[in-house]
Amino acid sequence: MLKKSVEDALNKQLNAEFYSSYLYLAMSAYFESYPMKGFAKWLRLQAKEEMAHGMKFYDYIIEAGGTPKLTAIDAPKTPWKSAQAVFEQVYEHEQKVTGLIYALMELSIKEKDHATTNFLGWFVKEQVEEEANASEILAQIKIVGDIPGHLFWLDHQLGKRE
């Protein structure tokens, strides 16, 4: 059985993951309007991945004897000024999510909730990958700059994501 403090924190993270999905879907729509289909595809797949992360929390809360609580999702602030501005926000957002996961881990350790600590281990590892991906794409955007041909090349590369 989950302690109330852990259940509340897991529910907060569940909703944060759904917000991440919503944010990345809004970013995908931004790129669709240009059209930069590769950037759009990468972010749409990222939105799908974040939804799956949210569902992992949803399922875990149920399995651990708690009740998932869904809250309103804030609308992302749009539009963005550039591809660089989008991926600066992606990277900052992933750093924020990492902080949320770390705080959850600290709470589960403090509460001696070993099952939740074990569950969160996957997310700690996942956030290393998430930050690395966002950082790498941001660095590539900074290298190519606002040169349309170079951005279209990067768009093509990002469109290869499966």
CATH number for position 133: 1.20.1260.10
Structure tokens at 130: 């998430």
Q: How many other CB atoms sit within 10 Å of the CB of residue 26?
A: 18
Residue 52, both tokens: 């799956």
pLDDT band (50, 70, 90) for residue 5: very high
Q: What's the pLDDT tens digit per position in 26-77? A: 999 999 998 999 999 999 999 999 999 999 999 999 999 999 999 999 999 9
Q: Please state, in angstroms and rounded to a whole number, the distance separating the CA atoms of residues 17 and 25.
A: 12
Is residue 16 within 8 A of residue 50, CB to CB? The reply is no
37: its two tokens: 């289909």
pTM of the model: 0.96
SS3 of 79, please? coil
**Which amino acid type is present at position 131?**
E
Number of domains in the chain: 1
Tokens of 107: 């709470």
Residue pLDDT, tens place only, 97-133: 999 999 999 999 999 999 999 999 999 999 999 999 9
CA-angle at 87, arms to 81 and 88, nearest 5°: 85
- By residue range, what is the domain housing residue 116? 4-158
3-state secondary structure of 33: coil
